[in-house]
Chain A
Amino acid sequence: MERLDRKLGLLSSLPMIVILLIAFLAPVVVVALFSIMPPKVFSLANTPDFSSYSVFFSQGYYKSLLWSLGMAFASTVILLVICWPLAYGMAKVFGRFTLVLTIAIVMSLFVSENIRLFGWVLTLMKGGLIEGHLRTWTGMSFDSPLYGVPVIVFGLVYVYLPFMLFPLAQGIAMVPDDARQAAADLGATRWQVFTQIDIPLAAPGIVVGSLLSFVLAAGAVAESKILGGQAVIAIADDVETAFTFGQNWPLGSALSMILICIIGGLALFGVSRIDLDAIMGRKR
Chain B
Amino acid sequence: MSDIALLRLRGVVKKFGGFTALHGIDLDIREGEFFTIVGPSGSGKSTMIRLLVGMDDISAGEIMLRDQRIDQTPANLRPTCMVFQSLALFPHMSVGQNIEFPLKLRKDSPAKRRERALELLDLLRLPRTYYDKRISQCSGGEKQRVALARALAFDPEILFFDEPLSALDYRLRKALEKELKDLHVRTGKTFVYITHSLEEAMVMSDRIAIMKEGKIEQIAVADEIYSAPVSRFVAEFMGEVNLFDVISVDGETLQSSALTISNDVTQSTLPVGGKGLLMVRPEDVQFVGSKDHFDYVLEGKIHAEYALGSRIQYEVEADGKILTVETLRESRIKDSEGLPVTLGFNASKTHLIGDA
Contacts and interface: CB of A to CB of B under 8 A. Distances in A.
Interface of A: 176, 178-179, 181-189, 192, 196-197, 200-201
B84 A178 contact: yes
B53 A185 contact: yes
A181 B85 CA distance: 12
A187 B80 CA distance: 9
A176 B76 contact: no
B82 to A, nearest CB: 5
A200 B98 CA distance: 14
Given A186-B81, A187-B106, A192-B105, A179 B76 contact: no
A194 B252 CA distance: 68
Given A181-B84, A182-B84, 10 more contacts: A179-B91, A181-B55, A181-B75, A182-B82, A184-B75, A185-B55, A185-B81, A185-B82, A186-B105, A201-B92
A147 B294 CA distance: 103
B150 interface: yes
Interface in B284-322: none
B76 to A, nearest CB: 5
Contact of A182 (B74, B88, B105, B106): B88
Contacts of B105: 186-188, 192
Interface of B: 53-55, 74-77, 80-82, 84, 86, 88-92, 101-102, 105-106, 150-151, 154
Contacts of A176: 86, 88
Contacts of B151: 186
Contacts of A178: 84, 86, 88
Contact of A184 (B76, B89, B92, B106): B76
Nearest to A176: B88
Contacts of B55: 181, 184-185
A186 B91 contact: no
Given A178-B84, A192-B105, A185 B91 contact: no
19 contacts: A176-B88, A178-B84, A179-B91, A181-B55, A181-B88, A182-B84, A183-B101, A184-B76, A185-B80, A185-B81, A186-B81, A186-B154, A187-B76, A188-B76, A192-B105, A196-B101, A197-B90, A200-B92, A201-B92
Q: Could you say which of A186, A189, A192 has the most chain B C-beta atoms within 10 Å of its C-beta?
A: A186
Q: What 8 pairs between A and B have smallest CB-CB spacing?
A: A182-B88, A178-B88, A186-B102, A184-B76, A200-B92, A187-B105, A184-B75, A178-B86
Contacts of B90: 179, 182-183, 197, 201
A163 B78 CA distance: 40
Contact of B101 (A186, A200, A201): A186
Given A178-B86, A181-B55, A189 B91 contact: no
A187 B84 CA distance: 15
A201 B54 CA distance: 24
B76 A189 contact: yes
Contacts of B77: 187
B156 to A, nearest CB: 9
A173 to B, nearest CB: 15
Contacts of A181: 55, 75, 84, 88
A200 B93 CA distance: 10
Contacts of A179: 88-91
Nearest to A177: B88
A60 to B, nearest CB: 45
B91 A201 contact: yes
Contacts of B81: 185-186
A185 B75 contact: yes
A176 B92 CA distance: 12
Contacts of B75: 181, 184-185
Contacts of A184: 55, 74-76
A197 B104 CA distance: 13
A182 B162 CA distance: 12
Contacts of A189: 76
A178 B89 CA distance: 9
A184 B81 CA distance: 10
Q: Could you say which of B81, B82, B101 has the most chain A C-beta atoms within 10 Å of its C-beta?
A: B101
A189 B74 CA distance: 10
Contacts of A197: 90
B268 to A, nearest CB: 50
Contacts of B89: 179, 182
B107 to A, nearest CB: 11
A104 B75 CA distance: 37
Contacts of A196: 101
Contacts of B76: 184-189
Nearest to A199: B92
A187 B102 contact: yes
Contacts of A183: 90, 101
A223 B218 CA distance: 71
Contacts of B154: 186-187
Nearest to B160: A185
Contacts of A188: 76, 101, 105
